[in-house]
Amino acid sequence: MSDAESRSSTDDGDTPVVELDNAEIVYDRNFLAVQGVSMQASRGDIVALLGPNGAGKSTILKMISGIGRSERGEVTRGDVYYEGEKVTNFQCKEMVNRGVTHILEGRRVFPDLTVEENLRCGLYRQGRRIRYDKSDYDLAFEYFPQLEDLLDVQAGYTSGGEQQMLVVARALIHRPNLLLLDEPSLGLAPKLVKDIYETLREINREEDITMIIADQNAKRTLEIADYGYVLENGQIELNDPADVLVDREEIKEFYLGTSSEESRYSDIRHYKIRKRYT
Amino acid sequence: MSVVGTLFEVTVTGIGLGAIYALVAIGFSLIYKVTGVLNFAQGQLALLGAYLVVVLSTPLLVALELPASAAIVATLVFGLLLGVFLERVVFRHFIGEPVLSVIIVTLALGGIITGMVRFLIGPQYRAYPEAIRPDWSLPLPFGVDLSASFTLGVALSLVVVVALMLFFRYTVIGSILRAGSSDQQAAMVLGVSIERTILLSWALSIAITSIGGLLFAMSAGGAGFTIEAVGVLIFAAVVFGGLDSIPGAFIGSIVVGLIQQLGAFYAEPVIGPGVGQVLPMVFLLVVILVKPYGLFGTERIERL
C-alpha cells in the first residue's frame, strides 16, 4: 500500500485514470468484501487484478463502474477517484457518462438479440445517439472481423469465444475511456484466451483505452499488463509492474505452477487460503 | 340468413371481439416482455379506461359536442399519463426487487382500482351518451355489418401490433428495451437507463390497455364491471400466443374471441348457457399442457 502512495506522489501531477484510496467496500451493510485497498491505473495502462475466487476483484471493478450500487454495495471508507474527480459511490449511469464501460463476468450477451442488435446497444448512452449507422460498427469489425458474418445470428447461439468477442466489441463501440474487464478468459480454450488477450493489448495501444482486467489467469494477464495487483481476502498482497510481478516467487508458485513440484498451498505463507465466511 | 351467413357473422364478431381483447393482451405482453412482470391488474386498468369516458363525457365530451374519436384520444392520453403516474409512484420503487413482489403489487393495484371506481362512480352499468357512440358500421358480405367498435378494434390492434413489432425489431430503443429485459445489469453498464425503459413501457402498456377497455365498453354501449373479466380472458390469449410475444398476444386474442363467440352461438344451445365463457379457460389449460411457451414465446436459450 505504501508502494501505491509513493507511486502516485512521484507521478508529478499526472493524474491516474482511476485511483482507489484506502477503500473499504461493504455489501448489504454487513458483508465486508474489500478493505484498505489502494490502487491506481495510469493513463494508457493495462492493470491486472489477480487473485483467487472471492478475493474482491469483481467487487473493486463493480464499485468503480458503479454497478455494485445496484447490488447494495457501498464504499464505506476511503475514496474512489476518476480522472482526479472524487466518484465514491457514484451510480452506474454517472460513471458510464464519464466514459467507464464495464464488461461483466460471464459473457453477458443479450441472448435473444441478434449480434447486430447487441452491438446496437453499445451505441446508446443516456438519451444520446438514438440513430445508428452500420459504419458505427467498423471499429468493432476492425478488431473482431468474425462478427461481421454473424450479424443476423441470435447471440445466444454463438460460441463462447464469439460471445466474448461480442461483449468486448459492444463495449468498444461504446468508446470508453476506461474499460473494466471481469474474467475475460473464463471458460475459454487457451488458444482463444491468447487471441482475446492479444486483441485487448492491440485495442489498448491503438485506441488509447485504459484497462483494468480482473482475471484468475495470472500468466496471460501479466503478459499484456503494465502493472499488477494481487488480491487476497479483500486486501492487496502484492503490487508491482507486471514484468517484476511475473518473476516473483509467490506468483510463480501459486499461479503459474512453475516452481518446485513439492510446493503446496500450505507452504506459501503469504497466501492464507481459507474460506472467509465460515 | 343462411347457415354460412350466420357462421360468417359469428366468426366476424368473434374476430372483432378478439381484436379488442388483443389491445388489453398486448398491454399485458408489453409489460411482461420488458419488465418480466405479470400484470394482474390488466382487467381493472381496462375498466378504468372505460369508465374514464363516463367521467369526462358529461362535462367535456358531450358539452363540446366531441365525437367518439375524441373519447379515444382522451383515453389514450389518460392512459399514457396514468402509466407515467403508476410507474413513478408505485413500480419505480420495486426496481431491483424480486419480480414476484411486483406481481403481488399489481394484484393490490387491481383491487384498489376496482374499489376506487366503485366508490367514485358507483357499481352500476353506465351507458355512454349517444354522442360519443360511433354510429357507423362496416358492411361485409352476406349482409353482415361489423359494428364500429369492432371495426375500430381490428384496425387499432393491427396498427399497434405492426408498430410495436417494427419498433422492437428496427429501432435502437426497441433493441435496448429488449436488452434491458434480458439482462438489466449488462444493459446498465452500457448506459441504458432502466428507469426510462420501464417508464416508457408502462406508459405505452396502460395507454393501449385503456383503449381496449374503452372499445369493449363501446361495443356494449357503456361501461360496466364485466370488463374486469377481460383481464382473465386475456390470460388464455397470451399464454397461447407466448407471454412475451406481441403478435402472439394478438393472434391468441383473436382465437379466444372466436372460441368465445362460436362457443356461445353453437355450443350454448346444446350444452347450456355460459359455455362460451368457459371454453377459453379450458383452452388455456390445454395450451399450458401442450405448449407451455405458446406459439411465439421466447424459449430460453440454454447453450450446453
Q: Do A125 and B186 touch (CB under 8 A)?
A: no
Query: Which of A39-43, A124-128, B267-271, B285-289 is modeled with the greatest confidence?
Result: A39-43
Contact residues on chain A for B186, CB-CB shorter than 8 A = 104, 108-110
The verdict on B189 touching A (C-beta cutoff 8 Å) is: yes
Distance (Å) from the alpha carbon of A257 to chain B's nearest alpha carbon: 31
Nearest to A112 by CA among B26, B37, B183: B183
The verdict on A173 touching B (C-beta cutoff 8 Å) is: no
Nearest to B214 by CA among B54, B25, B26, B40: B54
Q: Do B301 and A93 touch (CB under 8 A)?
A: no
Please report how the helices B228-241 and B3-35 are oriented relative to each other, as an axis angle in degrees rounded to 10. 80
pLDDT in tens, A208-249: 999 999 998 888 899 999 999 999 888 998 888 988 888 887
Select from B173, B186, B190 the Cβ nearest to the Cβ of A130: B173
For residues B20 and B220, give the distance between their C-alpha atoms in angstroms, rounded to a whole number: 12
pLDDT tens for each residue of chain B, 304 residues long: 688 888 999 999 999 999 999 999 999 999 998 888 899 999 999 999 998 887 777 677 777 777 778 888 989 999 999 999 999 999 888 877 788 888 999 999 999 999 999 898 888 888 888 777 777 888 887 888 888 889 999 999 999 999 999 999 888 888 888 888 888 889 888 888 888 888 999 999 999 999 999 999 988 888 888 888 898 899 889 988 888 889 999 999 999 999 999 988 888 888 888 888 888 888 888 888 888 777 777 766 555 4
The verdict on B166 touching A (C-beta cutoff 8 Å) is: no
**Helix, coil or strand: residue B126:** strand
A271 confidence band (pLDDT: 50, 70, 90): very low
The verdict on B176 touching A (C-beta cutoff 8 Å) is: yes
Which residues are paired to A39 by β-bridges?
A20
For residues A170 and A162, give the distance between their C-alpha atoms in angstroms, rounded to a whole number: 12
| C-alpha cell belonging to residue A157 | 447461439
Q: Tell me, what's the pLDDT at B300? A: 63
Name the pairing type of β-strands A210-214 and A227-232.
unpaired
Instruction: Mutation target for B interface from A113, A117, A172, A180: give the one with most B CBs within 10 A.
Output: A117
Mean pLDDT of A42-62: 91
Q: Tell me, what's the pLDDT at A129? A: 59
Contact residues on chain B for A170, CB-CB shorter than 8 A = 190
Mean pLDDT of A5-10: 41
Q: Tell me, what's the pLDDT at A128? A: 61
Q: Do B185 and A67 touch (CB under 8 A)?
A: yes
Instruction: Mutation target for A interface from B32, B167, B173, B175: give the one with most A CBs within 10 A.
Output: B175
**Helix, coil or strand: residue A35:** strand
The full length of chain A comes to: 278
The verdict on A252 touching B (C-beta cutoff 8 Å) is: no
Q: Tell me, what's the pLDDT at A276? A: 45
Q: Which helix (H) or strand (E) holds B264?
A: none
Query: Which of A5-19, A264-278, B255-269 is modeled with the greatest confidence?
Result: B255-269
Q: Are B24 and B231 in contact (CB under 8 A)?
A: yes
Q: Do A113 and B303 touch (CB under 8 A)?
A: no
- The residue in chain A having the minimum alpha-carbon distance to the alpha carbon of residue B301 is A156
The verdict on B298 touching A (C-beta cutoff 8 Å) is: yes
Select from B171, B176, B188 the Cβ nearest to the Cβ of A70: B188
The verdict on A29 touching B (C-beta cutoff 8 Å) is: no
Instruction: Mutation target for B interface from A58, A90, A93, A128: give the one with most B CBs within 10 A.
Output: A93
Q: Tell me, what's the pLDDT at B302? A: 55
CA-to-CA separations, B304 to A113, A160, A275, B86, in angstroms, rounded: 19, 10, 30, 41
Q: Tell me, what's the pLDDT at A125? A: 59
The verdict on A97 touching B (C-beta cutoff 8 Å) is: yes
Mean pLDDT of A30-57: 91
Q: Are B118 and B100 in contact (CB under 8 A)?
A: no
Q: Which domains does chain B carry? A: 3-135+148-290 (1.10.3470)
Mean pLDDT of A50-70: 90
CA B152 to chain centre: 14
Amino acid occupying residue A210:
T
The CATH class of A2-108+177-267 is alpha beta
Share of residues in chain A with pLDDT > 90 (%) = 51
Say which residues have a Cβ less than 8 Å from residue B242's Cβ, sequence separation at least 6.
B248, B293, B294, B295, B296, B297, B298
From the number of C-beta atoms within 10 Å of its C-beta (0-12, 13-18, 19+), residue A184 rates as buried
Q: What is the mean pLDDT of chain A?
A: 83
The verdict on B2 touching A (C-beta cutoff 8 Å) is: no
The full set of domain ranges for chain A reads: 2-108+177-267
